[in-house]
Structure 1
C-alpha cells in the first residue's frame, strides 16, 4: 500500500469565475499540510481546448454583464437533464481525450472535481479505470451537471443539498455534508484595530463592503455608491476585482469623496470582510460561504438567474441574507442591518446555524481515510 507521501491527487476545475479556483487551492493547501505534496491542479477545459475555453469564458462574462437571462435560460434548461441527451453528453465528454492522456502520464490515485464536469466519470465508465472520484459542490443548491453514477463521493454544503442528491438516486452513504471548502484564512480571527490602521479607516464609522465579483460584473455600481454615500457615518469599500477599467471609472467618479475606498483584486479579502458591518455582493457560492464563515451579514443585489439566484434565495429563506432588486430596497435593507440591533442579531443567529467549520480539513481527511480503506 502506498504511503500518503507517495500518493498523487488530481484536482479538476474550470475558470468560470474565481470560486472554483479558490476551492481547489484550499484543498491543495490542506493536502500539503497533511504531508501529501503530489497534488496537481488542472484547468481541464483550458488545457484541452484553450481557444474554445477562452471564447466560452468571454461569452459567460458577457452574458452575466449584458444578458443574464440568457445564462439563466441555459442553466434552468439543463437543471434536470438526462445524461443521454446529446448536448449533455457533449459536455460530459468535453476534454476527455486530453484527460485520458493526463491520467496516463500522471497516474493519480484519486481525482477531485470542484466544477460541475463529468469528464472523469465518463472516462472511467468507458475505460474501467479504477481511480476514486470525489466531487466537491461549490453551491448551496443542486444542478444535475454535478451528478454522475460513477462518482464515488460527494461533499455538499447543507442537508437540503444532500437530500436532493439522494433523491436523484445516489446512495446516502456517498454524500457527506461538509460545507464548502475555504482557504485557511477564513477560519481565523483578526485584530480589527490593526486592520483599521492598515487600511486607513475610522473605527467609529460603519463599514460597507461592496464586492463587484472577480471580474467586476456587478451592475449599477455608481448609483449604488451615490445612494449609500447619503447615509450617515459609513465608509464604503468597493472591490472591483480584475476589472481595471471599472476601477478607473469609479475612481474618476468619486475622486472627491473621502468615505469611499476603491480596490482592484484583493488577495486578502478576508481582512476587509472581517472589519465590515455588511457586504453587498453577487451570489457566488464561495463568496457567500466566506461571509458565513466570518459571520458577515450579506445583501445580494440583483442575483443573476441560475445558481446565483438559487444560492441567494436559499440563504434568504434561512434568514442569513437579504435580496434587493432595486437600489431603494438595497438602502432599506442596509439601514436595517447597520442601525437595528435586533435585525442583525437575528441574521447572525441564522448565519451561525449554517456554518460548517473548516470544511477543507474535513474533506481532505475524509478523502485520505477513503484511500486508506481502499488500500490506495
Structure 2
C-alpha cells in the first residue's frame, strides 16, 4: 500500500504580507514536489481576533508615526531568550487554538513563518513527537525566532546561520536556504500556463532607457512617494513603474498627475511582481525580507528609501554592507543614487556581482525537499523528537 502524503501545518501572521507570502511559497513547493496536504493558519487572527486587529493597527501606525520607538523596542529585545519571562509571554498567545487545530488536523510537521512559538511548550505539555521548523523571513535575526526546542531552522544567509549557532542553536539544525519566494521568480520553474499569461501593461525594454521599479509596499506606505515620483519624472532616459499596493488614494493621485505620460506606469496591488521585476533595471523599495529576496532573485540593484528602524533597517544595512543595496535617507540622496546608477554602468554591474553572491536557487523548493527528505525518505532524521 502506498504511504499517505505528509500532512503539514504552516503557521503565519498577517502583519504585512511577507509572512503569508513565505507560507504560500512553501505550501506551493510542498504540494508540487511532495504532493503534501498543507494547511495555512493565521494563529493570532484565529485565536485572538480582537487583539490581532489591535496589534496590527499599532504595528502599522508605529511604522508611520513613531518608527524610532518601534526600532528601539525591536533592538532592545533582539537578544531576548525564548524562556525568559518576556519570551514566555510572547510565545503563550494562541496555545488553546493551536491545541484544537493539532487535535483536529493531526499534522506530521509544523512550520512557522512568524515567530509566535506557542508550539514548543504545547508539545512538551502534550508529550507529542511533532517536528517543528522555523523559516526566518528577514536578513536579520531577532531572538523571537530562536527556541531550543525547534528542530530545524531555514535562514536567509550563512551569516545568519553562524549567528544562530553562536546564540546557542546547534549548527546542524540550521540551513541557509534563502528566504522562500514564489516559484514564478525563477522562469524555469514556471508552468506553461503561467508563462502564457498576458504581461498586462508592462512596457517592453527600450534601448538607452533605464526602467526603475518603485515598490511602495503592500499597503503603499513608502514615505514621500509623490515627491519621489515628481523628481524622478524630470530625469531623462528614465521610465518609472510604480506599484502603489492597496493605497488607492496614492494610485489615484499619481494617475491624475501622470495620465498620458509615456514613461510612467502606475499599478495597484498586483500578482505579477516577477514580470515587473524582469522588465526593470533598478528597484526602489521598502526593505522587507520578501521583497528584498524577490529583488535579489531578479538580479536588481536595490535602493532603499528611509528604512524604518527595526528589522527593515537591519535588513537594509546588511545588504548595503554586502554591496547589494544603497540606502537613501533623504529624497535628494535617493535621486543622486538613481542618477549615479543610470550614468555609471559599472556601479550597477558591481551591485549585480554582489547580488549574485547572495542569491540562493529556489529557496522554497530547497526547504520542501529538505523536509520531505526527512519525513518521507526515512533517512537518519534531523528531528530531535
TM-score scaled to structure 2, two decimals?
0.92
Offset at residue 257 of structure 1 (A): 3.8
**Contact kept in structure 2, 1:30 and 1:360, CA below 8 Å:** yes
Secondary structure in 1 aligned to 2:91? helix
Number of the residue aligned with 1:60: 59
Number of the residue aligned with 1:199: 202
Deviations 1:273-324 (A, max 9, x none): 1111110000001100011111011100011100100110101001011000
Indicate yes or no: 2:288 matched with 1:284. yes
Offset at residue 197 of structure 1 (A): 8.5
Number of the residue aligned with 1:28: 27
Question: Partners in 1 of 2:41 and 2:199 — Cα distance?
Answer: 38
Number of the residue aligned with 1:93: 92
Structure 2, unaligned runs of 5 or more: none
Question: Partners in 1 of 2:133 and 2:121 — Cα distance?
Answer: 14
Number of the residue aligned with 2:6: 7
Offset at residue 196 of structure 1 (A): 8.1
Indicate yes or no: 2:368 matched with 1:364. yes
Q: Which moved more, 1:224-233 or 1:63-72?
A: 63-72
**Contact kept in structure 2, 1:282 and 1:308, CA below 8 Å:** yes
Number of the residue aligned with 1:180: 179
**Contact kept in structure 1, 2:133 and 2:151, CA below 8 Å:** yes
**CA distance 1:246–1:312, shift in 2 (3 Å):** same
Question: Partners in 1 of 2:354 and 2:240 — Cα distance?
Answer: 25
Offset at residue 370 of structure 1 (A): 1.7
Offset at residue 201 of structure 1 (A): 5.1
Question: Partners in 2 of 1:216 and 1:327 — Cα distance?
Answer: 17
Question: Partners in 2 of 1:125 and 1:358 — Cα distance?
Answer: 34
Match of 1:373 among 366, 369, 379: 379
Offset at residue 112 of structure 1 (A): 0.5
Number of the residue aligned with 2:322: 318
TM-score scaled to structure 1, two decimals?
0.94
Question: Partners in 1 of 2:94 and 2:88 — Cα distance?
Answer: 12
Question: Partners in 2 of 1:177 and 1:29 — Cα distance?
Answer: 20
Number of the residue aligned with 2:38: 39
Match of 2:224 among 212, 220, 223: 220
Q: Which moved more, 1:310-319 or 1:34-43?
A: 34-43
**Contact kept in structure 2, 1:61 and 1:217, CA below 8 Å:** no
